[in-house]
Structure 1
Amino acid sequence: MKAVVLAAGKGTRLRPLTDDKPKALVEVGDQPIIEHCLDDLVSLDAEEFVVVVGHKKEQIISRLGDEYRGVPITYAHQREPAGLAHAVLTAEQYIDDDFMLMLGDNIFRANLEDVLAEQRDDSSDAAFLVEEVPWEEASRFGVCVTNDDGEIVEVVEKPDEPVSNLAMTGFYTFSPAIFDACHLVQPSDRGEYELPDAIDLLIRSGRSISTVTLEGWRIDIGYPEDRDEAERRLREVDTDRRVGRSDSASYSDSKEVSVSGDGEDE
């Protein structure tokens, strides 16, 4: 399965870390955020990366080159920051089957492989990794409303009155039907083509979208303090491994997640 990584953001909220580099190249630990993403996708047997670039794209291309850990890379250029649905469409010409989508500003230590298993189920047209967040914090996120079978029936972006506490985490699998939906999306109030609007179109067209609840943690690197928190979490994981604790043990001990948003920033 191919993997699309959205890495076109400027990272204005990450300044001064992004004064001289794009958001995707901010280092967490000993490597850029985007390499953490690609490492996760390599572990999921991604057969090709489609990296969507924009701001300071030359730096990303220079850093990664034509392949990463033996997996070929194709670059798609998002010429303007017009929203996540717009970013997804820049990859359309390179995708002809089910694919993984990862927002390139996340650090995951989680059960990503379970999302692929859901996608491979013939009854699923898409599958999302979602996280149960405290109800009082749900208005900060794009949240999913599900039915009794765990299928998504509605997506609401940062609701004033939370209708769910299942937050989207930035890792998805889709069939190519998502491109048709993205083409139909109209600009939002902030003038962008929003991915949740495309997802709602999929749902209304009768497509089935499954959810997988996050086991572990993820951090969206939106602010400098998020980078610091991610580095702390990664040090804990390294320590746990050195003393012989399992990944699942370290996941269960680290449930509080810092999330700044679920899309590229301006």
Structure 2
Amino acid sequence: MKAVVLAAGKGTRLRPLTEDKPKVMVEVDGKPLLTHSFEQLIDLGVDELIVVVGYRKQDVIDHYDDEFDGVPITYTHQREQNGLAHALLTAEEHIEDDFMLMLGDNIFRANLEDVVKRQREERTDAAFLVEEVPWDEASRYGVCDTNDYGEIVEVIEKPDDPPSNLVMTGFYTFSPAIFHAAKLVQPSDRGEYEISDAIDLLLQSGRTIDAIRLDGWRIDVGYPEDRDRAEERLQDAEPDAPESTPT
């Protein structure tokens, strides 16, 4: 399975960390955000990384060149920052079958493999991790509205008045049907083509959508304090170095 990694953003909210680099090149625990994404995806068995670049794209290309840990990298260019669905469409010509999608500014230590397994076994049109966040943070994300049975009936991008605190995280799997849906998306109130609107179109057309509860943790590195929090979590998870034995 191929993986598309969205890495075109400026990271204006991460300033001053992004004064001289794109968002995905901000270091967390000694390596760029994008390296964390690549490592997670390679652990999931991807055979090609398709990286959507934009702002300061050459910084990314110069750093990684055409492969990472033996896995080939193909770059596509999002010329204008018009939203995640718009970014995804730049990768369409490189996708023939089911694929993974990861936002390059998220760090996961979670059950990503459950999403991939569901996609491979059930052949869904979309599967993604969801988690409950504090209500005052829900408006930062794509929010899932559910019915009385807990089934997702609508996905809404960054609503002012969230109907729930169940939100999509930055990891998905899709069938190629997502590209047709992305082409039908209209600009949101923010003027962007939202990936949540594309997923909602799949949902409303009766396509198979699966949401899987996050088991573990993930941090969306949107602000400097998020970077610090992610670094602390990663360092806490690292095993202590063994004590040296006197000789």
When normalised by structure 1's length, the TM-score is: 0.86
Distance in 2 separating the partners of 1:13 and 1:28 = 16
The aligned residue for residue 170 of structure 1 is 170
Distance in 1 separating the partners of 2:79 and 2:200 = 25
Distance in 2 separating the partners of 1:190 and 1:139 = 13
The aligned residue for residue 86 of structure 1 is 86
The aligned residue for residue 245 of structure 2 is none
Give 1:146 shift.
3.9
Contact 1:150 1:211 in 2 (8 A): no
Contact 1:130 1:168 in 2 (8 A): yes
- 4+ residue runs of structure 1 moved beyond 6 angstroms? none
Cα 1:82–1:21 change in 2 (3 A) is: same
Give 1:242 shift.
5.6
Moved more, 192-201 or 44-53: 192-201
Size of the alignment, in residue pairs?
242
Q: Which runs of 5+ in 2 are unaligned?
A: 243-247
**1:115 and 2:115 are equivalent in the alignment:** yes
Contact 1:115 1:128 in 2 (8 A): yes
The aligned residue for residue 7 of structure 1 is 7
The aligned residue for residue 160 of structure 1 is 160
Query: Where do 1:59-98 residues align within 5 Å?
Result: 59-98=59-98
The aligned residue for residue 139 of structure 1 is 139
Give 1:140 shift.
3.4
Distance in 2 separating the partners of 1:118 and 1:221 = 27
Distance in 1 separating the partners of 2:140 and 2:9 = 20
The aligned residue for residue 190 of structure 2 is 190
Cα 1:137–1:24 change in 2 (3 A) is: closer
Give 1:60 shift.
0.2
Contact 1:151 1:208 in 2 (8 A): no
What do you get for the CA RMSD once the two structures are aligned? 1.7
Give 1:30 shift.
1.2
Cα 1:189–1:159 change in 2 (3 A) is: closer
Distance in 2 separating the partners of 1:188 and 1:44 = 33
Give 1:221 shift.
0.9
Distance in 2 separating the partners of 1:177 and 1:230 = 33
Contact 1:152 1:208 in 2 (8 A): no
Moved more, 95-104 or 201-210: 201-210
Distance in 1 separating the partners of 2:205 and 2:68 = 37
Give 1:136 shift.
4.8
Question: What amino acid does structure 1 have at the position aligned with 2:224?
Answer: P
Query: Where do 1:1-266 residues align within 5 Å?
Result: 1-122=1-122, 124-146=124-146, 151-239=151-239
The aligned residue for residue 256 of structure 1 is none
Aligned partner of residue 120 in structure 1, secondary structure? helix
Aligned partner of residue 117 in structure 1, secondary structure? helix
When normalised by structure 2's length, the TM-score is: 0.93
Contact 2:107 2:220 in 1 (8 A): yes
Residues 51-84 of structure 1: CA deviation (Å, up to 9, x unaligned): 0000110110011111101110000000110111
Residues 193-250 of structure 1: CA deviation (Å, up to 9, x unaligned): 11111111111221111011111111111111111111100110004x669xxxxxxx
Aligned partner of residue 41 in structure 2, secondary structure? helix
Contact 1:26 1:32 in 2 (8 A): yes
Residues 81-106 of structure 1: CA deviation (Å, up to 9, x unaligned): 01111000000000010000000000
Question: What amino acid does structure 2 have at the position aligned with 1:12?
Answer: T
